[in-house]
Amino acid sequence: MNELMLKWLAMLAPAAEGAAQLDKMMSLIHWLMLVLGVGWSIFFVWALIRFRQKKNPKANYYGVQHKGSTYIEIGVIVAEAILLVGFAFPIWAKVVDSFPPKEGALKINIVAEQFAWNFQYPGEDGIFGKKDAKFIDRENPLGLDPEDPNGKDDIITLNQMTIPNNKPVVCYLSSKDVIHNFGVYQFRVKQDATPGMTIPLWFEPTKEGSYEVVCSQLCGIGHYRMRGFVNVVSDKKFEEWKQEQLEEANNDDGW
Amino acid sequence: MSVEDHNELGFWRKYIFSTDHKVIGVQYALTSFFFLLVGFSLVLMMRWQLAYPGQPMPFEFLSKIFPAGLPGGVMVPEFYNSLGAMHGTIMVFLGIVPLAFGAFGNFVVPLQIGAPDMAFPKLNAASYWAFFLGGIVMLISFWVPGGAANSGWTSYPPLANIATTGQTWWLCGMVLLITSSLLGSVNFIATIIQLRAKGMTYMRLPFFVWAQLVTAFLLLLAFPPLEAAGVMQLMDRLFDTSFFMPSGLIVSGEAVDVSGGGSPLLWQHLFWFLAHPEVYVLILPGMGIVAEVIANNTRKPLWGYKSLVYSVLFLGFLSFFVWAHHMYMTGMGTVISAFFQTTTMIISVPSVIILTCLFISLWGGSIRFNTPMLFALGFLPMFGIGGLTGLPLGFNATDLYLHDTYYVIGHFHYVVAPGTIFALFAGVYYWFPKVTGKMMNEMLGKIHFWASMIFMNGVFMPMFIQGLGGVNRRLYDGGLQYAQNEPVLHWNVFMTTSAICLGFAQIPFLINLIATLCKKKRVESDNPWEATTLEWATPTPPPHGNFLTEPVIYRGPYEYSVPGAKKDFTPQFEPDEESK
């Protein structure tokens, strides 16, 4: 049943921990919608045919006498209550709100701006370099403090986020200018990036590949092309990539 | 007040600066139909760009009208964003609300309750003219430097705060439109509570009047926060305040020179505190019209009149507690989102009850399939689809995937376009003989209905497919940028073609309108549909002052096919001895 509905819905294939739970709920709701829609439609068409004026010239003042509709309404209420308590609350609490333990997770700062995604990795020391708006210029889009030793080994990338497979990632999302939204459909992740706030989000990819980051909040004339990529690679490839980036960061005397 | 008190007036006082609720109603209708057409034209341009991104518009004159937005006929992204923002604004605030509330409410409510006019006729005129001015301001804004507002109809700051001048015009226009709605709403409330005719108790009010009463309360209580928020945004833009501007903003590499410390989220709360009740403002009058037409054309009482009334009251009350379900993606925690999901599910219950009552009302009827009835019946499944697709959006876990996709666009358009607009067409065909004394052509009406029905679904049904396929809304190129959208993008051509055909489908309506107005033949009866409610007791068209004698109400609104009665309708205004 579940698979059948998901096949009909044809959503983008999930590639993260917890996505299956969200998809199961999506399938259940659409089954409920289908049952209600088909039921109502049958009643509707039947009533129109049976009670057309030609067939039924004299209307019945009292109409339906039994309480069948009350049971249907109670049924809808029960179904919604089950979806709420049994699915929506626990899924949100688990998939969105329960962050993985800090030690095991890869931490990344995401800074959105018109119309690009900046990613900041803390480097070998695991500590993000301090940032301040006053340091922002073309060479230093995030405003890293050049005096801060923790920032020396930070990796900064533009529109490309590379992460290892099967490892939880905790992102700290913020924006420099207007509201953006970090959306990755395959991870079932969508989170507003609101200026003035830093909002955490997490996910754990389960499938290697390259996934598109879609800005999901109107952010200006370039909104439609504010695209990024999340590249999910093997542990080995991730380490190689990281070393490459670290060398680059160390050779760069800019900060 | 008797008829003699109403002197004949000159042309200007009678038709332009009138205080007669019927003339103002017709003014509202004509103006809002004009704006519906404008809003539809805007979306046709958008749909062209979505189906054929970057290709010049098929009509050269368009680039003459919008030289900055369509250089050489090719749309620029700023203009696409303007069209999006203005399509929403115009359809909601200048099309549907004034038509459903201003036009139908104004014309029909005083007649249905047996009042000679609205409680405050001059306030009524002021309300129309504020609306008219608001509309002019919105239209002019297309030609100010930078074009019309381009930050979405939702105008989220900081984007809206740093946007071009059009946003300032938008805010000024909104202040006028909100003022108009507030003036209208107090007038409706006073009229319905104070001016009911003798015997018109609350439980004898037609459902349409109940729907308008709840709508008036929604407008009265929901609009002031948005008016305040609009003025705050205006001050942010013009006087460098920082209500919605946080500290440390860097736009295009430059620090923004504002004091900061404000909150962009504050705007979203204030906006949606209006804009969710606004959804019910868009739908309730439509439900009211559908209820009237269904009772009349099934020739039997509405099933569950009391349930309908209590549901609509409950719906109105609860609509103030669901607003943050538009904001699940702002970083809302489990507890707060649990609250708003629960209220959202609870509010679906009265909607289900209303729809169920209308469906069950068909059972046992003797159904006449005339044009108003077709549109009213069409409303039911269309609103049903709109309501059902609201379910996965109301749960935050499933909204996570669907938020900001075309699924959302499909959902609310099913509620408002084939939903409310069909209901409004039902109302136009139903009350046209009362307004003008002439009956619209049935054949043209039926062509209008079936063509609209087919193409409405052609436009909106594929949106669910695209939304589930992960295509986002508000994208200038319709999602071409994203490789993952490729499998479902071909629907854009289908939807655009359907939208163009939907435009052609309105031609029979226009012909019908003009031909009916031109024809000589008048309706023979003041009550051509053999209806039971009070508006049909007036002469046709109703004179200034409405009723020839003071009406008295003897019974409930939908006494059709009463056992033992002579005819199959027993009007509210007929004394008992006549009907037996």
Return the pLDDT at A69: 84
Return the pLDDT at B2: 46
Q: Are strands A227-233 and A160-164 parallel, antiparallel or unpaired?
A: parallel
User: What is the DSSP secondary-structure string of A6-66?
Assistant: HHHHTPPPP-BTTHHHHHHHHHHHHHHHHHHHHHHHHHHHHHHHHTBTTT--S--SS---S
Q: How far apart are the first and last CA of chain A?
A: 57
Burial class for B381, CB neighbours closer than 10 Å (0-12, 13-18, 19+): buried
Residue A189 backbone phi and psi in degrees, to 5: -125, 135
Q: What is the pLDDT of residues B147-194, one digit of tens each?
A: 999 999 999 999 999 999 999 999 999 999 999 999 999 999 999 999
Torsional sign, CA B85, B88, B90, B94: negative
Widest Cα–Cα separation across chain B: 83
Helix (H, G, I), strand (E, B), or coil: what is residue A70? helix
Q: Which two tokens stand for residue B191?
A: 């009229």
CA distance B469 to chain A (A): 5
Helix (H, G, I), strand (E, B), or coil: what is residue A142? coil
Banded pLDDT at B1 (limits 50, 70, 90): very low
CB B171 within 8 A of CB A232: no
Which residues in chain B are contacts of A137 at CB distance < 8 A? 253
CB B122 within 8 A of CB B17: no
Q: What is the pLDDT of residues B37-79, one digit of tens each?
A: 999 999 999 999 999 999 999 999 999 999 999 999 999 999 9
Other residues' Cβ atoms within 10 Å of the Cβ of residue B114: 24
Nearest to B475 among A52, A189, A224 (CB): A224
The C-alpha R_g of chain A, in whole angstroms, comes to 26
Q: Which two tokens stand for residue B349?
A: 């219950």
What is the DSSP secondary structure assignment for residue B150, as one 8-state letter?
A: -
Residues 483-502 of B with CB under 8 A from A: 483-484, 487-488
Q: Does B568 touch chain A (CB under 8 A)?
A: yes
Banded pLDDT at B580 (limits 50, 70, 90): low
Banded pLDDT at A255 (limits 50, 70, 90): very low
**CA dist., res. B386 & res. B419, Å (int):** 8
Give the CATH fold of the A2-96 domain: Helix Hairpins (1.10.287)
Q: Rounded mean pLDDT of B119-131?
A: 97
- CATH homologous superfamily of A106-251 equals Cupredoxins -  blue copper proteins (2.60.40.420)
**CA dist., res. B565 & res. B580, Å (int):** 5
Residues 243-272 of B with CB under 8 A from A: 246-253, 255, 260, 263-265
Interface touch B397/A91, C-beta < 8 Å: yes
**CA dist., res. B452 & res. A146, Å (int):** 64
Helix (H) or strand (E) holding A175: strand A169-175
Banded pLDDT at B577 (limits 50, 70, 90): confident
Q: Does B2 touch chain A (CB under 8 A)?
A: no
Other residues' Cβ atoms within 10 Å of the Cβ of residue A172: 15
Return the pLDDT at B579: 61
Which residues in chain B are contacts of A62 at CB distance < 8 A? 364
CA distance B400 to chain A (A): 6
CA distance B431 to chain A (A): 22
Burial class for B64, CB neighbours closer than 10 Å (0-12, 13-18, 19+): exposed
Q: Does B388 touch chain A (CB under 8 A)?
A: yes
Residue B477 backbone phi and psi in degrees, to 5: -105, 15
Which residues in chain B are contacts of A219 at CB distance < 8 A? 159
CB B178 within 8 A of CB B97: no
**CA dist., res. B475 & res. B538, Å (int):** 52
Q: Rounded mean pLDDT of A87-115?
A: 92
Q: Does B1 touch chain A (CB under 8 A)?
A: no
Helix (H, G, I), strand (E, B), or coil: what is residue B296? helix
Torsional sign, CA B180, B324, B461, B315: negative
With both helix axes pointing from N to C terminus, report the angle between B491-504 and B21-51 in degrees, rounded to the nearest 10: 150
Domains A2-96 and A106-251 share a fold: no
* Block residue for tokens 């000679």: B116
Other residues' Cβ atoms within 10 Å of the Cβ of residue A67: 9
Helix (H) or strand (E) holding B376: helix B371-388
Return the pLDDT at A103: 84
Residue B480 has pLDDT above 80, yes or no: yes
**CA dist., res. B368 & res. B429, Å (int):** 14
Q: Does A217 touch chain B (CB under 8 A)?
A: yes
Interface touch A63/B333, C-beta < 8 Å: no
Helix/strand/coil (H/E/C) assignment for every residue in B9-77: CCHHHHHHCCCCHHHHHHHHHHHHHHHHHHHHHHHHHHHHHHHCCCCCCCCCHHHHHCCCCCHHHCCCH
What is the DSSP secondary structure assignment for residue B302, as one 8-state letter?
A: P
**CA dist., res. B322 & res. A43, Å (int):** 31
Residue B105 has pLDDT above 80, yes or no: yes
Helix (H, G, I), strand (E, B), or coil: what is residue B254? strand
The domain locations on chain A are 2-96, 106-251
Q: What is the pLDDT of residues B243-269, one digit of tens each?
A: 999 998 999 888 888 888 999 999 999
All domains in chain B, ordered by first residue: 19-245+260-579 (1.20.210.10)
Return the pLDDT at B221: 95
Q: Rounded mean pLDDT of B276-285?
A: 94
Collect all residues with Cβ–Cβ distance below 8 Å to A149 and sequence separation of at least 6. Answer: none
Q: Does A213 touch chain B (CB under 8 A)?
A: no
Helix (H, G, I), strand (E, B), or coil: what is residue B157? coil
Chain A interface, mutation test: which of B391, B461, B560, B561, most A Cβ atoms within 10 Å?
Answer: B391
Q: What is the pLDDT of residues A115-144, one digit of tens each?
A: 999 999 998 888 999 988 888 888 888 889
Torsional sign, CA A191, A194, A200, A205: positive
Return the pLDDT at A138: 81
